[in-house]
Amino acid sequence: MPLTRRTTLAALPALIAVAGNKARAQGSQNPGGQNPGGQNPGSPNLGGPDPGDPKRGGTLTVVLQSEPTALVSAFTVLTWSLSVSAKVVEGLLDYDNDLNPLPQLAMKWDVAADGLSYHFSLRPGVKWHDGQDFTSADVAFSILLLKRLHPRGRSTFANVTAVETPDPLTAVFRLSKPAPYMIKALVAAETPILPKHIYEQGDPVANPANNAPIGTGPFRFKEWSRGNYALYERNAAYWDAPKPYLDQLIVKFVPDPAARSVLFETGQADLGYRTPVALNDVERLKANPKLRFDPRGNTYSFNVTRLEFNLDNKYFAKPEVRQAIAHLMDRTLICKAAYYGLAVPCASPIAPGLKAFYDPAPSPYPFDVKAAEALLDKAGFPRGPDRTRFHVTLDYNPSGEDQKRTGDIVRALLGRAGIAVDIRAQDMGSFVRRVYSDREFEFTINGASNLFDPTVGVQRLYWSKNFIKGVPFSNCTHYSSPEVDKLLEDAAVENDPAKRVALFKQFQQTVAKDVPDLNLCSPVFLTLSNTRVHNELLTAEGVESNLGSVFVDA
C-alpha cells in the first residue's frame, strides 16, 4: 500500500529561509548556459592506464537503482529497462561518444538527400538466440510496431509510411516527410529490433519474451529473480566473435542507495551508471583508488527533472495555480539540497546538454512569494482559518532518492504560500499505473530523458497526440496546445538546422508561459566502475550498451 508522509528533510527550514532572499532566488532561475555534458565532476582516478588486449572470462556485476518493469525496452522507456534490454536485443546502429553512427545489425546505410528514404544493408549470418535467421522482415516488423506502441516511437517514426524488404538483407524506410533526427534514433535500447516470429501473434505488450528476451546480442537471458537480479550468459554464437569477453553478466537491483555505496566500496559491485551511489557518498568514495567516476556514458540521454501537473485536476487546471507554484520554485536550492550539487538549474524542457537546442532564458515566473499569493487569491483559493488554501498529494518517481528529496523541498516551498502537500511513496509499478493508466494523481516529481534530439526525447511530453492512457513516460499532464503541436510537428520535419533550432526555441518559450509542468534541473550523471573493469564507456549510451566489448581483470 502507498504510504503518505508529511515529514521533510531536517535541514530544509534553514535552506528555505535562505530562499526568502528574492534577488538571489531570481538569479537562480537562470542556469547561465551551464552544460552538464561539459562538466567533469569525476574523481582524480578518471580513466586509467591502457588495459592491454581484452581478456576472456569472468563475471561482471552491474548494480541498478531500481528493478526494470520489463527486460525489453520495446514498450517502455523506463531507465532500468533501457539498461538491460540491449544486452540481448540489438539495434540497427550504435553511436560513438560524439553520436556518430556505427554499424551493428546494419553494416551500411544511406539517407536520401531529400530525407524521404533510408537504405540499410543488414549483417549476414546473424541468428536469433533460438536459432532462427535474422532478416529484413524482423526490421520491418519492429519499426512499424514501435511506431504504434513505443512511447517515443510514435513521434520518432511518425513519418515512416512503409519499410520495404526487397531481399532478406535489405530494409528501406519510406517517409512521407523528412525526419532529420531519425538516423540517431536507431540504437538498441531506444529502437530494439525484435524477432518477428516471436512477436507477430497475440498482444506484443503482453508477450512473455518481454520478460525472457530472445535477441541477437552478445548475452543470452538466463534468469530473472524478481526483486533480486537478472542473470545473463555469454552467447558463444555471437556474430561479432570473439566478443563477448565476459562469461556471465549479473544485474542486481538494489533500491537502497547506502547499500549500493557499500557494494561498490567492498568490491561486490563492478559497474553502475546515473551516479549509482548515495549522492552524499560521492566525495568520500572518490578517494577510493579502486573506483572510477566518469561523466562519460550519458551523452545519449541528458535528463530534466520536472514537476508534472495533472491538468484535469480541479486545482492544476487553473493556470494561475501553476504560475503561482512556478513563482515558489528555487532551482538552485533543489540542485544543492536534493542533488548535492550534482545538477544544474534548468527552466527549460530541453536539457542544457543539448547545446544546439537549449534556451537558457530564465523562467517567466521568477521567485516571488507575494506574486504567488496574489495568483492563488485570484484563482479563488484564499487561505482558510488554518492558513491553508488546499491540500494536494505529490507522487514521486521512486527510481532515485534525488526525486524523493526534491519532493520534500517542493512541499516546503509550496507551504510558504498555504498549499499543503502530502507526499506519497510507492513502488515503480504502482507509480506508473497510478500516473499513466489510472490517472489517479494530482502532481508528480518525475525525470525525463531528452535523449539526443528534442523530437525524440521532448516531443512525447507535450504533443497532444501523445496523451495515451497506459503508455508510460509520455504526455501525462494531458497538455493540449495547437500552437505547441504545430511547432513540434514543424521542427520534426525541418531539414534546415537553423530553422529547426528557431522552432524549438519558440516551443520552449511557449511552454514556459503555459506551465503544463515545471522544469527544475538537469542532473549531472556519473558512471561508477571498479578499476578492474575495462571498455565500459566506448559508446554514447555507456552502461545501456550491449557491453560486448567489456572485459575484467582476474
Q: C-alpha angle with apex 96: 93 to 98, nearest 5 degrees?
A: 120
The reported pLDDT for the residue numbered 456 is: 87
**Structural domains of the chain sorted by starting position, each given as residue range(s) with its CATH number in brackets:** 49-85+217-295+525-554 (3.40.190.10), 89-201 (3.90.76.10), 307-523 (3.10.105.10)
- Cα–Cα distances (Å) from 518 to 345, 409, 442, 508, 514, in that order, read 12, 14, 14, 12, 10
The residues near 248 (Cβ < 8 Å, ≥ 6 apart) are: 58, 59, 60, 231, 232, 233, 234
From the list 501, 447, 510, 502, the residue with the least C-alpha distance to 479 is 510
Q: Cβ of 107: how many Cβ atoms within 10 Å?
A: 13
Q: C-alpha angle with apex 84: 358 to 303, nearest 5 degrees?
A: 15
pTM of this prediction?
A: 0.78
One-letter amino acid at 438 equals D
The reported pLDDT for the residue numbered 301 is: 84
The reported pLDDT for the residue numbered 471 is: 82
Residues 517 and 461: their CA atoms lie apart, in Å, by: 10
The reported pLDDT for the residue numbered 27 is: 35
Helices (H), 416-496: 428-432, 454-457, 459-462, 482-493
**Looking up cell 536539457, which residue turns up?**
351
DSSP string for residues in 213-253: ---SSSEEEEEEETTTEEEEEE-TT-SSTT----SEEEEEE
**Looking up cell 553512427, which residue turns up?**
101
Contact present, 435 and 311 (Cβ < 8 Å): no
pLDDT in tens for each of the 554 residues of the chain? 343 333 333 444 444 444 444 333 333 333 333 333 333 333 334 455 567 789 999 999 999 999 999 999 999 988 899 999 999 999 999 999 888 999 999 999 999 999 999 999 999 999 999 999 999 999 999 999 999 999 888 888 989 999 999 999 999 999 999 999 999 999 999 999 999 999 999 999 999 999 999 999 999 999 999 999 999 999 999 999 999 999 999 999 999 999 999 999 999 999 999 999 999 999 999 999 999 999 998 888 899 999 999 999 999 999 999 999 999 999 999 999 999 999 999 999 999 999 999 999 999 999 999 999 999 999 999 999 999 999 999 999 998 788 999 999 999 999 999 999 999 999 988 999 999 999 999 999 999 888 889 998 899 999 999 898 888 889 999 999 999 999 999 999 998 999 999 999 999 999 999 999 999 999 999 999 999 999 999 999 999 999 999 999 98
- Pull the grid cell for residue 420: 499543503
The reported pLDDT for the residue numbered 48 is: 56
Sign of CA dihedral 98, 100, 101, 103: negative
